[in-house]
Amino acid sequence: MSLKHSLLVMLAEHPASGYDLSQHFKGSVGFFWNASHQQVYQQLKALTEAGWVRFNTEAQADKPDRKIYEITDEGRQAMTQWLREPAEVNKYKDALLIKIYGGDHIEAEVLQAEIQRHQQLHQKSLAKLKAIEQEYLALNRDQQKTMHLPYLTLKYGISAEENWLQWANQCLEVINEKT
């Protein structure tokens, strides 16, 4: 499992609350890893019990308290050890592709509409990633240097989304020709 370790990697950058971490999954990191807030809280509990993170409660006026988590030395050690281990090759699982695969069993229009719906969502996702890229490009050189590797993951997200959109257009053309 990698969620625990993903959280450690994020906490190694700077301390954060469970809420912050789950919000982070809606940003650039969200492109290649995801978790619901429930799962984040569950894993933070497990990480605390394992001694890999600890937290301080921060009282807030007008808002609920925040538990600010930080990585411990043991956590940092566990993280670097994990980082050095070989990663499993990503297993792609996409229900839309199954629906296209079996698309002859339903009306072409339904399939087209669904692909178009996904196109819109992917376009949104691409726009978000490009906006994050603009933020990166606005940084000065020294700041960029420390973000070199995260930027590579962002670039992958952008190229993957662009590739997807290009393919979806071809898809719609082929299905149109059939009608």
Residues that bind a copy of itself (CB under 8 A): 2, 5-6, 9, 12, 29, 31-34, 79-80, 83-84, 86-106, 110, 114, 117-118, 121-122, 146, 148-150, 152-153, 155-156, 159-160, 163-164, 166-167, 170-171, 174-175, 178
Does residue 7 bind DNA (CB under 7 A)?
no
- Position among 19, 32, 136, 164 found at the interface with DNA (CB under 7 A): 19
Nearest C-alpha neighbor of 131 from the set 29, 28, 34:
28
Judge residue 165's burial from the number of C-beta atoms within 10 Å of its C-beta, 0-12 exposed, 13-18 middle, 19 or more buried.
middle
Q: Which stretches within 51-147 are classed as H helix?
A: 73-84, 95-101, 108-137, 141-146
Q: What is the helix (H) or strand (E) element at residue 71, kind and residue range?
A: strand 66-71
Shortest Cβ 63–a copy of itself spacing (Å): 30
List contacts with DNA (CB under 7 A): 1-4, 17-20, 23, 34-39, 41-42, 44-45, 60, 62-67, 91, 93
